[in-house]
Amino acid sequence: MAPTQNVDISVSLVEKLIAAQFPQWVDLPIEPVAFGGVDNRTFHLGKEMSVRLPSAEGYSAQVEKEHRWLPKLAPLLPLPIPVPLAMGVPARGYPWHWSVYRWLEGENAAIERIDNLCQFAIALAHFLAALQQIDPTGGPPPGSHNFYRGGSLTVYDADTRQSVAILDGKIDTDAVNAVWEAALKATWYGSPVWFHGDVSAANLLVNKGQLSAVIDFGCSGVGDPACDLTIAWTLLSGESREMFRAALSVDRATWARGRGWALWKALITLVEHIKTNPLEARKARYVINQVLSETYQQYERRL
């Protein structure tokens, strides 16, 4: 992920940026969003808009990408996605472009907020399937703008192996290595398709118990859609996971690569937080265990 930089992103800064660049909204109240994210800082702008500012240079290229592509994708998708209303420019000591969006109602996805996890999984699969059907011509290929989502897992091979070495004795390293090797061998031969790039609970909104919107397309692009499967191990489980896979018609190789993406992120997260943040470390262990549970089940079926 991109390194953080010493930029003070505050209500005061947002007020100054709005006043200078979009004076038509100067009288609207500005408040921080309860969960404003890490890659970007998000603020309410009145009741119907939000302001979103990248927190580091590594995320700044995503602003123009979203403004270019989201209006083209939105009419072809079965659920609402962010609607860019205005793009701000660097000013007042803030060094990057930033955005004003229409506010989307809903809460971040969580098990306790979802009425039926299987129905949720199917709705998400239908959304991703529709996204993959959109003409990818001219879309952004994997690169630094999205941390190589949609590209080859080999980009993160060294990071993954280093994390496994650090965690030796704390996780089942043999099983982890087996999953990772299988993911690397599951080569992708398909044509590039659109993918979201960060299908996490934080980027899925729930309203009245149902999946209501998909947000944050900063890691989107065109390439291998396997990276969009990580939600199968971070939020879904059991029947809902199988229904998600069936609704997307995911083949074995793509599923293997999806497991690889989920495993890589969980491993580096556990290494980062194992001594400093018990909650994040526990979440990472959960994902690793969910990924490995399939390995154990497959082994048992062969016996």
Give residue-wise pLDDT tens across range 209-223.
Answer: 999 999 999 999 999
Task: Tell me whether residue 4 is in a domain.
Answer: no
| Distance between CA atoms of residues 284 and 27, nearest Å | 43
296: pLDDT confidence band, cut at 50, 70 and 90?
low
Count the residues in the chain: 303
Sheet with strand 204-207: strands edge to edge: 107-108, 204-207, 210-214
Q: Are residues 139 and 187 in the same domain?
A: yes
Residues 6+ apart with CB under 8 A from 283: 269
Instruction: Report which of 124, 98, 121, 139 is spatially closest to residue 14, judged by C-alpha positions.
Output: 98
Q: Could you tell me if 139 and 236 lie in one domain? A: yes
Residue finishing a domain among 104, 124, 158:
104
How many angstroms separate the CA atoms of 204 and 259, rounded?
20
Quickly state the pLDDT bin for 8 (edges 50, 70, 90): confident
pLDDT exceeds cutoff 90 at 236: yes
DSSP 192-245: PEEE-S---GGGEEEETTEEEEE---TT-EEE-GGGGGTHHHHT--HHHHHHHH
Last residue of a domain, one of 52, 70, 104: 104
CA separation for the pair 222, 234 (Å, rounded)? 23
From the list 60, 29, 57, 54, the residue with the least C-alpha distance to 44 is 29
Domain range for 52: 11-104
Task: Give 96-151 pLDDT, tens digit per residue.
Answer: 999 999 999 999 999 999 999 999 999 999 999 999 999 999 999 999 999 999 99
CB 192 within 8 A of CB 163: no
Q: Residue 36 — pLDDT band, cuts 50, 70, 90?
A: low
The pLDDT assigned to 35 comes to 74
Q: For the CA atoms of the chain, what is the radius of gyration?
A: 20
Residue 1 pLDDT grade (very low, low, confident, very high; cuts 50, 70, 90)? very low
Half-sphere exposure in the Cβ direction for 269 (13 Å, CA): 18
| 94: helix, strand or coil | strand
Contact 201, 232 (CB under 8 A): no
Of all residues in the chain, what percent carry a pLDDT higher than 90?
A: 92
Q: Are residues 37 and 155 in the same domain?
A: no
Model's pTM, two decimal places?
0.93
Residues 116 and 99 in one domain: no
